[in-house]
C-alpha cells in the first residue's frame, strides 16, 4: 500500500515530532487533527464537526472536497501530472486564457506562481524592470505574503521578524473610516484625505523613483477594509500621472470572495498588474500568479523576463483552476457569494451589531466581512490592544472558544471576528453560523466598559 492510513492520534503524534508550523512557537501549540471535510464543514480528531467560517486561510472558496473539482484533479493527474514551464501544456494554456478573459482591460497574459507571496514578488520585479525605478509604495495594515519581498511590502507586525527587510519599500496609510488615520468624519472625507496623503508620499519620495503602488483591493487579514468609492480611481489617476505601475493584490479578494471575479470590477478600475492565488482553485493544488497588462508584457517581448519557478503553471494546479472556474460559472458561484453578502451576511451582522455593545462596526462585501469588537462604542477602544497575545488577547480567544464549543470555526484577527465562509455556503448554513456567533458575543459583551 503506497498511502497507508494513520489513526488521528498517530497523525497528531507525528505532527508534534516532525512538523514545524508557521508563525508559531513550536512547543506552545497543539494543532487539532482533521479527519474529514466536506462543503462548508470539517470534523476534528475528537469527532466534533465545525461550520467553517474561515474558509481555512480564506482560500477554500468552493468549500471542502468539492466532488467535481476532486474528480477533475484526478482526471488531470491521469492525463499529465507535471511538465516543465518551458512547454505549452493544455491545462496551463486553458487556465491562462480563462483568467485573461475574466481580468479587466488589457490584462491578457498570466505569469503563474506557486502562491500569493511569490506572485507579489514577481509583480514588483516586473514593475521595477518596466519602469527602471526602484521604490515601491505599500500600505500599513496590509499583508502581502511570507517571502522576503512580500514581507517587506507587508504593513503589519508579521513583518517585524524578518527585518531589516528589502530596501526601497515605503509605507503609507490607506483609508479606514472607522479608525481614520486622517481624523476624517465621513467615508468621502477619508477618501479625499487618504488620496492627498498618498500624493504627498509620492512627491516626497520622488515620483521619478517610484516603480509601483501595491494595494489589497479590499484589505483582508488586516480588517476587511473596503475602500471608499473613489479611492481606487484616485490611486489609478495618481499612477497614470507619474507612470507608476498600479498593482492590485487580489490574492484574498479575487475569485468570488467579494462577489466579483476580480474585486477591482466592483469599482470599474483596471490596474496594471493583478496578483491572485487562493480562490483561483481553492488551494486544492498550490497556484498563484500575476495577470499582466499589454505594456508590461511588451517590456518582456524582446528582453528576457529574469525569473521563474520549477512548478509555475503546474499542469495539475492549472487543471484545478480551469475546473474551478468552470464550476464557478456553471453554478453561479460569484453571484451566490454576492447575494449572500447583500441578503444574508450583511443584514444578519447589522442585526447582531444592534444587540451587542461589544460590536463597534460590521463591514464587508460578498463573503468577506469583519465584526470589529470594542470595549466601548463611544471611544472605540479595541476589545484587545494592537498586536495583543497571551493574556492580553484573552477576550478574543474566549470568543473563539465559545464559537468552537458551539460548532463554528471562526477566523480571529486582532480585535475582529472575520466572517469569511466558502462562497458555496448555503444561506441556511450562514444563518446557522451567525446564530452561533450571536451567542458567542455575550463573552465579548461581558468585557465592555
Cross-strand partners of 370: 363, 418
Nearer to ligand PLP, 116 or 395 (CB): 116
Beta carbon nearer to ligand PLP, 363 or 447: 363
Rounded Cα distance between 188 and 276, Å, is: 29
Least distance (Å) from ligand PLP to the CB of residue 105? 21
Q: In angstroms, rounded to a whole number, what is the distance separating the alpha carbons of residues 129 and 113?
A: 18
CB of 278 to ligand PLP, least distance (A): 6
How far apart, in whole angstroms, are the C-alpha atoms of residue 101 and residue 68? 23
With cell 514593475, the residue in question is 127
User: Whose grid coordinates read 500624493?
Assistant: 199
Q: By CB under 6 A, is residue 220 in contact with ligand PLP?
A: yes
Q: Give me 236's grid cell.
A: 489609478
Cα gap 117→137, rounded to integer Å: 16
Length of the chain: 449
Range 175-181 contact pairs with CB under 8 angstroms and sequence separation of 24 or more: 175/225, 175/227, 175/228, 175/231, 176/141, 176/223, 176/225, 177/228, 178/360, 178/361, 178/363, 178/372, 178/380, 179/380
Q: Closer CB to ligand PLP, residue 117 or residue 437? A: 117
Shortest Å distance, C-beta 279 to ligand PLP: 11
Please state the three-class secondary structure of 337-351 as a single string. Answer: HHHHHHHHHHHHHHH
Q: Which one of residues 95, 98, 131, 145 is an interface residue with ligand PLP (CB under 6 A)?
A: 145
Burial class (CB in 10 A: 0-12, 13-18, 19+), 295: exposed
**Look-up: residue for cell 479575487?**
254
Compare residues 149 and 360 and give the one whose CB is closer to ligand PLP. 149
In the list 64, 122, 133, 144, the residue contacting ligand PLP (rule: CB under 6 A) is: 144
Using CB under 6 A as the binding rule, whether residue 177 contacts ligand PLP is answered as: no
From the list 141-149, 195-203, 325-333, 408-416, the region that binds ligand PLP by CB under 6 A is 141-149
Is 76 or 214 the residue whose CB approaches ligand PLP more closely? 214
C-alpha 213/C-alpha 367 separation (Å) is 26
Which span (19-27, 156-164, 203-211, 213-221) binds ligand PLP, by CB under 6 A?
213-221
Contact region with ligand PLP (CB under 6 A), list: 76-84, 140-148, 259-267, 347-355: 140-148
At closest approach, how far in Å is the CB of 389 from ligand PLP?
A: 19
Q: For ligand PLP, what does the binding mask look like between residues 364 and 403, x meaning CB under 6 A?
A: ----------------------------------------
Q: Is 121 in the site for ligand PLP (CB under 6 A)?
A: no
Instruction: Rank residues 76 and 139 by Cβ distance to ligand PLP and give the closer one.
Output: 139
**Minimum distance between the CB of residue 62 and ligand PLP, rounded to whole angstroms?**
16
Confirm or reject binding of residue 115 to ligand PLP (CB under 6 A): yes
In the complex with ligand PLP, the residue whose CB is nearer, 192 or 272, is: 272
CB of 301 to ligand PLP, least distance (A): 28
* Residue whose CB is less far from ligand PLP, 238 or 251: 251
- Of 11, 57, 388, 412, the one binding ligand PLP by CB under 6 A: 57
- Any alpha helices (H) in 5-115, and if so which ranges? 8-18, 55-58, 67-79, 90-102
Select from 221, 270, 281, 312 the one that contacts ligand PLP (CB under 6 A). 221
Interface pick for ligand PLP out of 60, 103, 109, 117 (rule CB under 6 A):
117
Q: Which is nearer to ligand PLP, 280 or 325 (CB)?
A: 280
Question: Half-sphere exposure (CA, 13 Å, Cβ side) for 374?
Answer: 16
- Phi, psi (rounded to 5 degrees) for 108: -120, 0
Q: Is the Cβ of residue 122 or residue 338 nearer to ligand PLP in the bound state? A: 122
User: Judged by CB under 6 A, does residue 249 bind ligand PLP?
Assistant: yes
Residue nearest to ligand PLP as judged by C-beta position:
116
Task: Spell out the residues 6+ positions from residue 5 whose beta carbon is closer than 8 angstroms to its own.
Answer: none
Q: Please give the size of the binding site for ligand PLP, defined by CB under 6 A.
A: 16
The CA distance from 284 to 280, in Å, is: 10
Which three cell numbers mark 425? 455556503
Residue 143 engages ligand PLP in binding (rule: CB under 6 A): yes
CA atoms within 13 A on the CB side of 15: 17
Provide the binding-site residues for ligand PLP, judged by CB under 6 A.
57, 115-117, 120, 143-145, 216, 220-221, 249, 251-252, 277, 288
Amino acid at each position: 500500500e503506497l498511502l497507508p492510513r494513520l489513526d488521528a492520534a498517530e497523525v497528531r503524534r507525528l505532527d508534534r515530532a516532525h512538523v514545524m508550523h508557521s508563525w508559531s512557537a513550536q512547543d506552545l501549540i497543539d494543532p487539532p487533527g482533521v479527519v474529514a471535510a466536506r462543503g462548508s464543514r470539517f470534523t476534528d480528531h475528537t469527532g466534533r464537526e465545525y461550520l467553517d467560517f474561515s474558509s481555512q486561510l480564506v482560500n477554500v472558496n468552493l468549500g471542502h472536497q468539492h466532488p467535481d473539482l476532486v474528480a477533475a484533479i484526478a482526471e488531470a493527474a491521469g492525463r499529465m501530472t507535471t511538465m516543465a514551464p518551458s512547454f505549452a501544456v493544455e491545462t496551463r494554456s486553458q487556465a491562462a486564457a480563462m483568467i485573461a478573459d475574466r481580468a479587466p482591460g488589457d490584462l491578457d497574459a498570466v505569469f503563474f506562481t506557486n502562491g500569493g507571496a511569490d506572485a507579489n514578488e514577481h509583480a514588483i520585479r516586473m514593475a521595477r524592470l518596466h519602469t527602471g525605478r526602484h521604490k515601491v509604495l505599500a500600505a500599513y495594515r496590509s499583508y502581502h505574503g511570507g517571502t522576503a519581498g512580500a514581507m517587506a511590502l507587508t504593513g503589519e507586525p508579521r513583518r517585524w521578524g524578518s527585518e531589516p527587510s528589502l530596501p526601497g519599500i515605503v509605507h503609507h496609510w490607506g483609508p479606514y473610516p472607522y479608525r481614520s488615520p486622517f481624523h476624517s468624519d465621513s467615508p468621502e472625507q477619508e477618501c479625499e484625505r487618504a488620496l492627498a496623503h498618498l500624493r504627498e508620499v509620492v512627491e516626497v519620495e520622488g515620483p521619478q523613483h517610484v516603480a509601483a503602488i501595491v494595494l489589497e483591493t479590499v484589505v483582508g487579514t488586516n480588517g476587511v477594509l473596503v475602500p471608499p468609492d473613489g479611492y481606487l480611481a484616485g490611486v489609478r489617476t495618481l499612477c497614470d500621472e507619474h507612470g507608476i505601475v498600479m498593482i492590485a493584490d487580489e490574492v484574498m479578494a479575487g475569485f468570488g470572495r467579494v462577489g466579483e471575479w476580480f474585486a477591482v470590477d466592483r469599482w470599474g478600475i483596471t490596474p496594471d498588474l493583478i496578483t491572485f492565488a487562493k480562490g483561483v482553485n481553492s488551494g486544492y493544488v498550490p497556484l498563484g500568479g500575476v495577470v499582466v497588462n499589454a505594456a508590461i508584457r511588451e517590456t518582456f517581448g524582446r528582453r528576457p523576463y529574469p525569473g521563474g519557478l520549477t512548478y509555475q503553471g503546474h499542469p495539475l494546479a492549472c487543471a484545478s483552476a480551469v475546473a474551478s472556474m468552470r464550476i464557478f460559472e456553471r453554478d453561479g458561484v460569484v453571484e451566490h457569494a454576492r447575494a449572500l453578502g447583500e441578503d444574508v451576511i450583511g443584514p444578519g451582522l447589522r442585526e447582531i451589531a444592534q444587540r451587542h455593545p461589544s460590536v463597534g462596526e460590521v463591514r464587508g462585501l460578498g463573503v468577506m466581512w469583519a465584526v470589529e469588537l470594542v470595549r466601548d462604542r463611544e471611544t472605540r477602544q479595541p476589545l484587545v490592544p494592537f498586536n495583543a497575545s497571551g493574556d492580553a488577547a484573552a477576550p478574543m480567544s474566549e470568543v473563539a472558544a465559545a464559537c468552537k464549543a458551539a460548532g463554528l470555526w471562526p477566523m480571529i484577527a486582532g480585535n475582529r471576528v472575520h466572517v469569511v465562509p466558502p462562497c458555496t455556503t448555503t444561506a441556511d448554513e450562514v444563518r446557522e453560523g451567525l446564530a452561533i456567533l450571536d451567542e458567542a458575543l455575550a463573552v465579548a459583551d461581558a468585557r465592555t466598559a
